[in-house]
Amino acid sequence: MANKMRHDAAPSWSHYQEKLSQLTKRSYPPEGLKLIKEAFDFAAEVHKDQRRFSGEAYMHHPVAVSLNAASLQLDTKTIAAALLHDTVEDGSTLRDIKKHFGEEIAFLVKGVTKVNKIKYQGVERAAENMRRMFLAIAEDIRIVILKLVDRLHNMKTLWALPSVEKQRRIATETLEIYAPLADRLGMGELKAELEDLAFRYVHPKEYQWIQKEVSRKIPEREAYLKNIIPIVQKALRREDIRSFEISARAKHHYSIWKKLLKYEKDWGRVLDLTALRIVLPDIEDCYATLGIIHSLWPPMPGRIKDYIALPKPNGYQSLHTTVFCTNGKPTEFQIRTRDMHRESEYGIASHWLWAESEKPEGGTRFVGKKFSWVKQMQTWQKEFRKNKGSGKEFLESLKIDFFKDRIFVLTPKGDVIDLPEGATPIDFAYHVHSEIGDHAGSAKVNAKLVPFHYQLSSGEVVEILTQKNRKPSLEWLKFVKTSQAKSRIRHTLKEKGSVEYFKRKK
């Protein structure tokens, strides 16, 4: 095809502009398009004699990264920065970027470059990489989004790296850090794509097995759902719900693998291998649709989840229900508004938190409690550095405190508290306030007394009863999950001169 881009040649502006228009489904203002073209030409000149391991012209990489950024509907300055993000390493300078494109774009390019340039090796390199990523989150979230879309394209071309060991290291880092970071930012599609790309390198045999089984099971399942869709459409129209979209979605490979591990590899227990998604104009229509689905087929007990009234910590909202559908087959439905759907796809990028004219020195503006974990992460990082923890400890604590599978529990007042899976009432107490943790006397979950080592589950209401003369116990260190709780327990025991603590230290 004449339109197809040859990968041994650099992409042309006309082809790039066409792709940009297809992805964003909108026309950029003349000044915005002019800026993007200038960045394209500048990057093309810098990278003109370079090639990647795959043999393709290097320019394909910044083009792919910028198109990924554009698909998230990011502003023109961020798209320009994506085109320029590798130029400083390959012959240009930040002074050149600032001179040609202004301070804000230079700021974004500098942020991405700073994350990339790390002198350490091994674990310390990975730890320093993450520290810089978190500083970038505080400065301007766009830097981190650029790093994520940069990683996405690098994962797509990981096959070209000659070292299998390096492929596995990069894929493991993607699976353990980058994909969970995308998830915490609410960028569900990007997270799932990163996971699936990494899965094939980290667990190649398991990936091939899942792929084989899915290719056999999904077509039959999709054919079944095609017969269900007209029944749902007819029922919704009968109840005067007209403006809706209904489609089938298949579960991603890595998500299937995680579920199979949980269910002892029993495919019969993975009920959401495919699901039907209904997108509606407003919340009232969502609840009405849930009622209509339940009038058609009986719901499965314990499988109705209201993430609209109680959103996930990353902002995800939707109604989930599994019903005994035609022929008694369990079938999952996801019901959400258009805004919720857009946010589940793009996360933080779906409702831009700054105007294009806003100066980057102002940093990122986070709205409400949804991204309060960013501030928690900054405080946690300062504490960790103060205590001089090693790179290995930093990464392990990071994975547990911020990137492990999450649960969310409620305070008696209805505030949502976001914790890692396996967290206990003591982790909850220290998350709310260090004084509550230090003086915890007993704990209630759903109004019933539970031991401090009790493992919390999503949706539970947790109450900590404090006593003025109580202090932490060394035994707590055996079961608490978060480094925040561990650090505070150790600090208080040391401060109070606990004999038991000092005996253990010896």
Q: Do the beta carbons of residue 324 and residue 335 sit within 8 Å?
A: no
Catalytic residue among 90, 222, 282, 361: 90
- The H-or-E segment that residue 117 falls in is none
The contacts of residue 334 (CB under 8 Å, 6+ apart) are 249, 275, 276, 277, 278, 318, 319, 320
Residue 306 a catalytic site member? no
Q: How far apart are CA 280 and CA 207, in angstroms?
A: 35
Q: How far apart are CA 187 and CA 20, in angstroms?
A: 20
Q: Give me the residue label for tokens 């104009």.
A: 281
Structure tokens at 189: 């599609």
Can you give the C-alpha Rg of the chain in angstroms?
A: 25
Catalytic residue among 18, 41, 45, 89: 89
Residue 96 a catalytic site member? no
The contacts of residue 100 (CB under 8 Å, 6+ apart) are 38, 42
Structure tokens at 367: 């709205």
Q: How distant, in Å, are the alpha carbons of 60, 119, 139, 210, 244 from that of 377?
A: 35, 23, 14, 35, 39
Tell me how many degrees the CA angle 463-307-320 measures, rounded to the nearest 5: 130
Q: Do the beta carbons of residue 326 and residue 227 sit within 8 Å?
A: yes
The contacts of residue 379 (CB under 8 Å, 6+ apart) are none
Catalytic residues: 89-90
